[in-house]
Amino acid sequence: MRDFCIIIFTRIKIIAKSLLSMHALELLSFVFVIGCFLFGSYYVFFRIFRYLVTVEAIGFALMDRIIEMAFFVFFTMLLFSNVITLFSTFYNNKELDFLFSLPIQPTSIYLSKLFENCIYASWATMILALPLLSAYGIVTHAPVFYYPLSIVSILIYLIVPATMASLLIFAIFRLFPKLTSRDVIVLSVTLIIGLTYLYVKTNNPELLKVFETDNEQELLRFATNLTTVGGTFVPSTWLTNIIKGLSGRANLGFFYFALLFFTSLSMTIIAFFAARLLYAKSWALINEHGTNTKRRKSRLHVYKYNQSSTLFFKDLLVFVREPIQWVQLSIFIILLVVYMISLKRTPLYFTFPVWRTIVSFLNFTFITFVLATLGVRFIFPAISLERAGIWFICSSPLSLSKVMKIKYYTNLIMAILILESLLIISNLFIKTDPKMYILMPAIALFVAASLVSINLGLGARFPQFNETNPSKIAAGSGGVVAALASIAYVGISIIILATPAYHYIASKYYGRPVNQLMILAPLIVFLLLNTITIIFPLRIGLKSLEQRDF
Q: Per-residue pLDDT averaged across 205-233, rounded?
A: 51
Distant-in-sequence, close-in-space partners of 307: CB < 8 Å, separation ≥ 6: 398, 402
Phi, psi of 19 (to 5 degrees): -70, -40
- The predicted-structure confidence for 133-169, as pLDDT tens digits, reads as follows 898 889 888 888 888 899 999 999 989 988 988 888 8
pLDDT value of residue 210: 44
The reported pTM is 0.68
Q: Which amino acid is at 503?
A: H
Cβ 70 vs Cβ 45: under 8 Å: no
DSSP per position, 92-132: S-THHHHHHTSS--HHHHHHHHHHHHHHHHHHHHHHHHHHH
* Contact yes or no for 49/133 (Cβ under 8 A): no
Report which listed range, 50-59, 91-100, 156-165, is most confident. Answer: 156-165
Residues 139 and 47: their CA atoms lie apart, in Å, by: 9
Instruction: Kindly write down the DSSP assignment for every residue of 343-356, as one continuous string.
Output: HHHS-----SHHHH
Angle in degrees, CA 113, 386, 320, rounded to 5: 80
- For 265-291, the pLDDT digits (tens) are 998 899 888 888 888 887 777 766 555
* Cα 132 → chain centroid: 16
Closest CA to 456 of 540, 549, 394, 546: 540
Q: Is the dihedral of CA 35, 39, 44, 49 positive or negative?
A: positive
Average pLDDT (91-102) is 78
Give the mean model confidence (pLDDT) for residues 372-398. 77
